[in-house]
Amino acid sequence: MKKLSVVVSVYNEELALPMFYRSVKPVLEGLSWDYELLFVNDGSIDGSLEVLRQLLLLDSKVKLVGFSRNFGHEAAMIAGIDYAAGDAIVCMDADLQHPPECLPKIVEKLEQGYGVINMVRTRNQSAGIIKNITSLAFYQLINTLSDVKFEANASDFFVVSRQAAEVLKRNYRERVRFLRGYVQNIGFRKTTISYEAHNRVAGESKYSIRKLFAFSMNTIMCFSNLPLKLGIYAGAFAALMGMAVMAYTLCTRQGAPSGYTTIVILNCFMFAVLFLIVGIIGEYIAVLFSELKDRPIYIVEETGNLGGEKER
């Protein structure tokens, strides 16, 4: 019998967790596959860990990987993929925004031999208008800048087969990362299932606009080198403009143009472009530096019900 691993990242979800467990458990029981429910506690500072420990005692299908501190959602998902033992892995959120009712459909698709299933949201009730617009703008930008193409409504709700998971585990260990992007670009037989994102059942979203912005910047750097080439374009543009002005001055023999304002504005503008480009290069160097240091993506402090040598 095949086994489905459901990986759930948890950060301060003490209120949502019992509800999540209650709704996902019957669905999992009804599947034709065996299953495990692997919670990754991402250094929660509320009672989430206690709730999870209770679940571990109650239910041997529930497993736990607990981080030593908060490492972020991306790290939690990759840890889930590292520790999951199933023939396919589903990553989902603990706040019930990703409906467990999709699981039977997922198993059906897996049995048809699909290796990657992207869960595409049709409607996002909870995200405000600003989040929806920025999200759309972000995908427009990244799709313009990058060679690889991204599904605009993809979410952190996705399914990978064991084979695809092994690729993610072995070859996608960057520190600056965007798992959702990798999942869409590793190939394998792909399909999508659409779902309607509900409001989160309890607690609040951990992604502020500021966090999302930082995340978007990282993603652009992860998938595109185009910003690095801005310097070349800006330089070429400035050189052309310089030549045009030079030609004009020489031809009309006006002598030096009498523009203090022009000079100041031009100076400011050129310096602005210059510093911007230096800043962009700096960002890439920061990414390089963090990859070079090769610090761990996550640190596990405790595990539960994993069995064997994986246990800590």
Can you point out the beta strands (E) in the chain?
3-10, 34-41, 62-67, 88-93, 116-124, 154-161, 190-197, 300-304
- d(C-alpha 307, C-alpha 277), whole Å: 51
Q: Look at residue 76 and give the partner it binds from ligand UDP, Mg ion, none, a contact being a CB closer than 5 to 8 Å depending on partner kind.
A: ligand UDP
Beta bridge partners of 124: 197
* Rounded CA separation 199/26 (Å): 21
CB of 116 to ligand UDP, least distance (A): 20
| Nearer Cβ to ligand UDP (43/227) | 43
Q: Residues interacting with ligand UDP, by CB under 6 A?
A: 9-11, 13, 42, 70, 72-73, 76, 93-95, 97, 200, 205-207
* Torsion of the alpha carbons at 213, 182, 206 and 16, rounded to the nearest 10: 160
Residue type at 38 in one-letter notation: L
Tokens, residue 177: 């990362």
Q: Does 41 bind Mg ion (CB under 5 A)?
A: no
Residues 6+ apart with CB under 8 A from 240: none
In the list ligand UDP, Mg ion, none, the entry touching 73 (Cβ below 5 to 8 angstroms by class) is: ligand UDP
Crossing angle (nearest 10°) for helices 16-29 and 48-58: 30
Please report how close the Cβ of residue 100 comes to ligand UDP at its closest, in angstroms: 13
Site string for Mg ion, 54-93 (x = CB under 5 A): ---------------------------------------x
Shortest Cβ distance from residue 134 to ligand UDP (Å)? Answer: 12
* Residue with smaller CB distance to ligand UDP, 114 or 200: 200
121 binds, among Mg ion, ligand UDP, none (CB under 5 to 8 A by kind): none
Please, what is the minimum distance in Å from the beta carbon of residue 302 to Mg ion? 25
Residue 273 CB, nearest approach to ligand UDP (Å): 34
Q: How far is the CB of 264 from Mg ion (least distance, A)?
A: 49
The length of the chain is 312
**Complex with ligand UDP: residue 9 or 218, whichever CB lies closer:** 9
135 residue type, one letter: S
133: Cα separation from own chain's centroid = 18
Q: Is 95 in the site for Mg ion (CB under 5 A)?
A: yes
Interface of this chain with Mg ion, residues 133 to 162, rule: CB under 5 A: none
**What is the DSSP-derived secondary structure letter of residue 310?**
G
Q: How far is the CB of 113 from ligand UDP (least distance, A)?
A: 29
Return the residue of 9, 44, 97, 118 that touches Mg ion, per CB under 5 A: 97
Nearer to ligand UDP, 87 or 302 (CB): 302
48 contributes a contact to Mg ion by CB under 5 A: no
Q: Cβ(5)–Cβ(35) under 8 Å?
A: yes
- Which residue's CB atom is positioned nearest to ligand UDP? 205
Contacts of 72 (CB under 8 A, 6+ apart): 42
Taking the C-alpha atoms of residue 75 and residue 81, their distance in angstroms, rounded to an integer, is 10
How many alpha carbons fall within 13 Å on the CB side of residue 285? 6
> Which 109-128 residues touch Mg ion, going by CB under 5 A?
none
Contacts to Mg ion by CB under 5 A: 93, 95, 97, 200
